[in-house]
Amino acid sequence: MTDVHPLTSTAPAATALPPAPAPAPPAPPAAAAPAADPAADLLLLPELGEVPAADLQDRLAGWLSDFTSLQEHLELLARADGLAGTLDALLDSGAALLGARRGLVVTLPPGSEGQPARPVGLGLDRATLGTLETVPVEHGPFAGLLGRPGPEGRLLIADLAADPAVGPRFREVAEQLGLGACYALPLAAGPAEEVLGAAAWFYDEPGSPDERREHLVRRYCEFAAPLLARQLAADRAVRAAETLRRSLLPGHLPARTGLRVAARCVPAALERAAGSDWYDAIALPDDTVGLTVGSVLGGGPGAGPHAGTEAAAAMGRVRAALRAYAVLEGEDPVSVLGDLELLLKTTEPTRSATAVYACVDPAGRRIALAGAANCPPVLLTRYGANFVETSLSAPLGMLSCWEAPGVELTAEPGDVLVLYTEGLARRFAPALHAGQSALRRAAADAPRDVRLDPDRLCAHLLEQAGGGEPGTDDLVLLAARFE
């Protein structure tokens, strides 16, 4: 690519880059943002030499303004929510510092061998991003930046239409999208650090940023890179936890004559150390079925970036133990939960669990269940929907000894037993009891054809709760209909 000096421009004066916005009053940097060192920043600026006092005062005022602007943009980055918010903030701030209008950022997943993940755009819709993805990486806006960047550590194409080094596909796409110039930087904490990705900003007309703007955006990207690295690591931990937990949940639900079962599981948008929900349906040797939902909580002071993975692994261990106890003592839900509580105290001392376990006899339509601090199940009948009130009890592992009486009842043909965790109730209303009541009303008001199919009933309840998109809590729902 032709490297055009940052102070030159092929654009006429009428199309020069817009001036930088006036900075706001200085503000202290956010705790999570790396602090810029004004002394180090000044050392990178040109030598003053013999400068008249008036000019020196103007230059110092300009440098102070630039430093304040840099700090404000770093504060915005530190307050960004998650990886997506960090990438959006990086693009927005880079565009403001460079005077550009559109931008593009990509990250490099581990083991990608230079092949970036799906790009995130600024001022570019999904169709435009798809068009830019058709440009080969080695000839596009990130050429030479995703491996070992050259000594320049940047890519500047001041005229995408006239530069002979621009690949034909990139030139074609730039003309189609109205891109006149491109300025791109690798995202790495330092020259010897691993490249995390790259960001590019586009101008509508041919041109290049002046030395001041280029200096600011370089410094900004240097400070942003460590924060981006932490967000990428957290995002990978979230994805690993989600993959693990999905592998630990049942791949299919058992079929029994006279009973149809369906379930839904929607993990939280961001895995936290708080817990991991499960559901299960266990075909027992005596032709009964064990139904359970619950949540593993806690993790102790060691909770960190991998807390979600650890919680998912703990959920898998608890669920596996519950399956074993159900086979041994399935007809006695109180004994099943009592054994599970003893296991938690012995092998998971920093965790507790909420759970409900029901042993269902499809032939006799008999239900025996017990709960430990879990939301009360709902029994949907031809007369409406009612809670199956389990005795109020503490979560498993919280007290010296858990004990609560079981509940037994007989269902009618067409009745549906609905088990769920707290996350679903809180989708209906922030207050837990209000959410439980709203869920019960939604089940009672479900159309008749929906109530005939437990899978459709699960979908209906999710829709009434606001949809199946990830929220702030895990969400589990299990419905069993007696034929």
- pLDDT value at 264 more than 70: yes
Q: Two tokens at 38?
A: 């004004």
- pLDDT value at 195 more than 70: yes
- pLDDT value at 239 more than 90: no
Q: Which of 382, 410, 408, 411 is nearest to 482 (CA)?
A: 411
- pLDDT above 70 coverage of the chain, percent: 82
Which of residues 168 and 471 earns the better pLDDT score?
A: 168
- pLDDT value at 259 more than 70: yes
Rounded Cα gap, residues 175 and 154, in angstroms: 22
Rounded Cα gap, residues 53 and 298, in angstroms: 63
Give this prediction's pTM.
0.65
Is the Cα dihedral 131, 136, 141, 146 positive or negative?
A: positive
**Per-residue model confidence (pLDDT) at position 335:** 92
Q: What is the pLDDT of residues 3-54, one digit of tens each?
A: 433 333 333 333 333 444 443 443 333 434 444 444 444 444 445 555 566 6
Which backbone phi and psi does 84 adopt, to 5 degrees? -60, -45
Place of tokens 């060192």: 37
All domains in the chain, ordered by first residue: 13-238 (3.30.450.40), 249-482 (3.60.40.10)
Q: What pairs with residue 361 in β-bridges?
A: 366
**Per-residue model confidence (pLDDT) at position 447:** 95
Q: What is the pLDDT of residues 297-325, one digit of tens each?
A: 876 444 454 566 787 888 889 999 999 99
Q: At what angle do helices 211-248 and 53-78 cross, to 10 degrees?
A: 10
Q: Stretch 437-443: mean pLDDT, rounded? A: 97
Q: What is the pLDDT of residues 127-186, one digit of tens each?
A: 999 999 999 988 899 988 887 655 567 899 999 999 998 999 999 999 999 999 999 999
Q: Stretch 459-477: mean pLDDT, rounded? A: 88
**Per-residue model confidence (pLDDT) at position 11:** 37
**Per-residue model confidence (pLDDT) at position 439:** 97
Q: Stretch 50-63: mean pLDDT, rounded? A: 70
Q: Two tokens at 66?
A: 């630039």
The DSSP annotation for 429-469 comes to: -SSHHHHHHHHHHHHHTS-HHHHT-HHHHHHHHHHHTT-SS
Q: Are 127 and 46 in contact (CB under 8 A)?
A: no
Which backbone phi and psi does 290 adopt, to 5 degrees? -95, 125
Q: Two tokens at 230?
A: 């932490």
Which of residues 61 and 289 earns the better pLDDT score?
A: 289
**Per-residue model confidence (pLDDT) at position 37:** 47
pLDDT mean across residues, the chain? 83
